[in-house]
Amino acid sequence: MPHKFKNAVILCASIYFYSWGGPKFIFVILGTTFLDFLLVNTMQNQKTQKSKRVYLIISLCLNLGLLFYFKYCNFFIENINAVLGTEISWLKVVLPIGISFYTFESLTYVIDVYRGVHKPLKNVWHYQTYILLFPKLIAGPIVRYHDIADQITNREKNYTAEVKLSGFLIFCLGLAKKTIIANTLGMQADAVFKLAPEEIDTAAAWIGAIAYTFQIYFDFSGYSDMAIGLGKIMGFKFPENFNNPYISGSITEFWRRWHITLGAWMKNYLYIPMGGNKVSNSKLYRNLILVFLFSGLWHGASWNFVLWGAYHGLFLVLERLFLGRVFEKLGKFIAVPITFLIVITGWVLFRNEDLGFAVHVIKQMYSFEFFHSKFVLNNDFITMAIVATLISFFTITTKTKEIQNKIYGESFSPSAKWAVLVCGVILYYVSLSYVSALDFNPFIYFRF
């Protein structure tokens, strides 16, 4: 296909993709991107910094206002009612898919242009292609405008057979991570977390927590891999979103490896504007906690996410105070398991909106109370948990990290190309068989 038509095709496909899941919201996203484009272009034409700032603020209000309205309005109303005893009625609002992701991308566009990091796009369709680009639209990675700006108009250097083949493999790996590993682990996590609190003993609590720990990683990183892979096939190079987070030796390191693009966004657009590291210690700790509270809230309008953010923020502060030095002294092989335990415990908060239930599960994890629970372990879970553990900790040594780099790289020997093709096709069809069978669970007799 001629290069000049590629963006048009991608944009049409993205509009179709988004309107398939959110047919009404396509107008919201098209409308806001159009307005943003106009605002940013007008901002760019302003001569004084002051008038530029006015347009920046309007754009921020527009994007954050929509995010607040769709995602957080009812959460705030609910809490105002609870605190003040008022009876403000809830709004009938449906959350547009991917709003948290594309709002953050829109913000990078306006802020990067305002800061002079990059010039604005000349064509509104190019801007909409950037925001609506379907592989990353609903679940990230959050692609900063600065990182992709040049690729939108010119990515011919990425149109190589190697990049496409690499994209194919990464897409298939992501699909397999999601369908084979994450879905299997997710079923076990669901089986535990739907139990009544009194039915959860220490073993069940740990199994549920571990199942969810690996489920969320393989689910989310699987989606990211699929996005990155599809992006490569289309000539885009999206930033990595996960870098083996469970081998982290501290929570600080964990956040450099987990949801990297969100972390980078928070750092560039929130933490640094708040002063970054160049403030007094007390302000630094306050900023860390605030950034993580905000990060928690970004994940969902519920107190469990806020608490999860605060929990991570607290460990970041503790690491600045003393824990980081303790981890360093202990060495990687002790610090990694401790960090992993902290992360697992945090995921229980993240998974359960009912805070009382989440706290109960955490209590059970550390109470060493064993009794017969109705919950049973399935063989597929045990196998996938072992596979997930091996993959998650595979890169703990330099040698194994090199192997991973080769798999995710773009340079293959002639024989490796055939291996990539065969592995990719196998993973793709095995994943298809999992997807087909998972939603097929026949009833022997209808109980009616």
Partner 1 sequence: MAAKTKTYSIHCVLAFIAILFPLLATLTNTDDKPNLVGLVINNEKPVFSWSDWFTGSYQEARTDYNNDHWAFKEKMVRLNNQFYYKAFNQIRVNNFVIGKEDYAYSEGYIFSAFGDDLMPEEKVVSLLEKAKVIQDILKKKGIDLLLVYAPGKGAGCKEFVEDKYVHEVKNTNHNLFVSNSKRLNINHLDLYAYFEKLKPISPYPLFPKFGHHWSYYGECLAVDTIIKHIEDLHHCDMPNIFWNTVDVIDTARNRDADVLKSMNLYSNPSQDMKLAYPQIAFEDDSLKNTTRVLTVSDSYWYGPVYMGINQKAFAYGEFWYYYNRVVPSRVAGQKTEVWELDLKSEIENNQVIMLLYSDGNLPGYGNTFIQDVYEMYTSPNSFYVKFERNKQIQTYAKQIREIPGLLKKSTLKSKDLQIPLDSAIKLDAMKMAGLLK
Residue numbers of the site for partner 1 (CB under 8 A)? 19-24, 159-161, 164-165, 168, 190, 194, 372, 374, 376-380, 383, 417-418, 420-421, 424-425, 428-429, 432-434, 436-437, 439-448
Residue with tokens 């403030």: 279
Q: Which of 118, 126, 146, 299 is catalytic?
A: 299
127 backbone dihedrals φ, ψ, rounded to 5°? -65, -40
Find, among 116, 232, 250, the residue nearest to 167 by Cα: 232
Residue with tokens 């190697």: 162
Categorise residue 280: left if φ over 0, alpha if ψ from -120 to 50, beta otherwise. Answer: beta
Quote the CA–CA distance of 20 and 137 in Å, as a whole number. 13
Residue 332 CB, nearest approach to partner 1 (Å)? 34
Other Cβ atoms closer than 10 A to 76: 12
C-beta closer to partner 1: residue 17 or 68:
17
Residue 181 CB, nearest approach to partner 1 (Å)? 14
C-beta closer to partner 1: residue 5 or 443:
443
Q: Could you confirm whether 299 is annotated as catalytic? A: yes
Residue 138 CB, nearest approach to partner 1 (Å)? 14
What residue type is 241 in one-letter code? N
Q: Are 249 and 397 in contact (CB under 8 A)?
A: no
Residue 312 CB, nearest approach to partner 1 (Å)? 30
Task: Give 348-397 as a DSSP string.
Answer: HHHH-S-HHHHHHHHHHHTTT-----S----HHHHHHHHHHHHHHTGGGS
C-beta closer to partner 1: residue 190 or 240:
190
C-beta closer to partner 1: residue 73 or 97:
97
C-beta closer to partner 1: residue 368 or 448:
448
Q: Are 171 and 226 in contact (CB under 8 A)?
A: yes
Name the residues annotated as catalytic: 299
